[in-house]
């Protein structure tokens, strides 16, 4: 497929579309995912107490229907968050209109929105857009990927194929996200579709485990959105024997889903608003996994760490400070800290104290587009990895003018 960052395949029985319906001035702003067969569904939603109307609607749908989802309709430009009773009516109407045009039950449609908070959806434009999008359903995922973008500068796609019992299963993920990205369901939308046949409980456990170590381990700006969601649909058309928990097929499928989520999470960080660098934080030999995760996330989320990396300043004390306020309990006197990138690796602190290091070399290391901060705690066997982006003047410019 031409024009994408990578060539991707579509799982059997799925079609996608993306169109411009007038919510935005020019760019595509409405997308639909459709399955020819009923899908098992699983989803994870934002932890923000203020949840957008589409999420409230979807939660209720999935309480009673996890085995007959057929479509997802997504709009960008307007978040349909903090929109009261009318916002909920508009979310429901979006599902109803999609169902009418596709000829499927309303309860088989999920909805999603992203964009400006506090604005009602322009329903006449949206409904016309749904009619138009259904006419353009096809096997090219790029229009859909374009339609769900807000401040994103790149589409975000990744596909993985895996053999399960001699049957080829495809997992395709499409995501958006650039700002309001913070752990606890980073501010983003991610839609995964697969032709795998899988038990609903197995699908739920795979998604939650994968989200915990991917989207929940990234940060751009410390803000958790009102609209974050990850949804996976599985229609079973690959013809594999149904996947159940704790089987070989389960773990093979988990690895496929996890790869897709990991790549998409990294793409979101790489496309962080105003970002020039990706920061990978690796915590080694922590007392336990929970501590490793807390520390990695705190460092990746620290604005002082982000600005130091942007400025190519080896201000390692900021890393120790972030670890210290993470909530994890550990011995600060055992910490070793390294900065590394394609330009090399340098130890800058040992046993909790600063040591002489080559400032010129470290500045070169920090000049790379991917900078790795390695914190060796020397206090156990647990590890964790988190990803963040640097924080630049461009971020302020973008978000200072978001509505205009």
120 backbone dihedrals φ, ψ, rounded to 5°: -75, 145
Q: Which two tokens stand for residue 390?
A: 């640097």
Q: Which of 181, 269, 191 is nearest to 14 (CA)?
A: 191
Q: Which of 67, 109, 55 is nearest to 230 (CA)?
A: 55
Terminal Cα distance for the chain, rounded: 34
- DSSP element (H, E) containing 192: strand 189-194
Cα 155 from chain centroid?
12
What is the DSSP track for 281-295?
A: EEEEEESSHHHHHHH
Give the pairing of strands 382-389 and 218-219: parallel
User: What are the beta bridge partners of residue 338?
Assistant: 347, 374
Q: Is residue 170 within 8 Å of residue 236, measured between CB atoms?
A: no
Measure the CA dihedral 193/190/310/350, to 10°.
Answer: -70
Catalytic residue numbers read 187
103 backbone dihedrals φ, ψ, rounded to 5°: 75, 40
């Amino acid at each position: 497929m031409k024009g994408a960052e990578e060539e991707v395949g579509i799982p059997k029985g799925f079609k996608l579309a993306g169109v411009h319906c007038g919510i935005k001035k020019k760019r595509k702003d409405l997308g639909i995912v459709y399955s020819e067969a009923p899908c098992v569904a699983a989803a994870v939603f934002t932890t923000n107490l203020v949840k957008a109307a589409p999420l409230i609607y979807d939660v209720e749908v999935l309480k009673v229907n996890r085995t007959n989802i057929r479509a997802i309709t997504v709009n960008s430009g307007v978040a349909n968050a903090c929109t009261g009773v009318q916002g909920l009516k508009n979310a429901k109407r979006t599902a109803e209109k999609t169902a009418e045009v596709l000829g499927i039950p309303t309860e088989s449609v999920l909805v999603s929105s992203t964009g400006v908070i506090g604005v009602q959806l322009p329903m006449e434009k949206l409904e016309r857009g749904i009619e138009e999008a259904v006419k353009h359903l096809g096997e090219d995922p790029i229009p859909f990927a374009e339609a769900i973008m807000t401040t994103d500068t790149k589409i975000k796609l990744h596909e993985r194929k895996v053999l399960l019992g001699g049957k080829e299963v495809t997992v395709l993920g499409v995501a958006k996200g650039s700002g309001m990205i913070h752990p606890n369901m980073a501010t983003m939308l991610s839609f995964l579709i697969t032709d795998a046949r899988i038990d609903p409980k197995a699908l739920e456990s795979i998604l939650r485990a994968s989200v915990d170590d991917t989207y929940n381990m990234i940060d751009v700006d410390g803000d958790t959105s009102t609209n974050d969601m990850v949804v996976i649909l599985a229609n079973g058309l690959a013809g594999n024997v149904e996947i159940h928990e704790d089987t070989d097929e389960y773990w093979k499928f988990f690895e496929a889903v996890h790869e897709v989520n990991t790549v998409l999470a990294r793409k979101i960080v790489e496309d962080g608003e105003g970002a020039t660098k990706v920061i990978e934080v690796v915590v080694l030999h922590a007392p336990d996994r929970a501590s490793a995760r807390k520390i990695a996330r705190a460092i990746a989320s620290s604005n002082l760490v982000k600005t130091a990396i942007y400025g190519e300043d080896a201000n390692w004390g900021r890393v120790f400070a972030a670890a210290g306020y993470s909530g994890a309990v550990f011995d600060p006197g055992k910490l070793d800290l390294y900065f590394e990138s394609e330009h090399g690796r340098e130890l800058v602190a040992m046993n909790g104290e600063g040591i002489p290091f080559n400032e010129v070399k470290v500045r070169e290391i920090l000049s790379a587009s991917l900078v790795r901060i390695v914190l060796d705690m020397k206090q156990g066997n647990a590890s964790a990895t988190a990803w963040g982006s640097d924080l630049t003047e461009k971020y302020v410019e973008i978000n200072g003018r978001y509505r205009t």
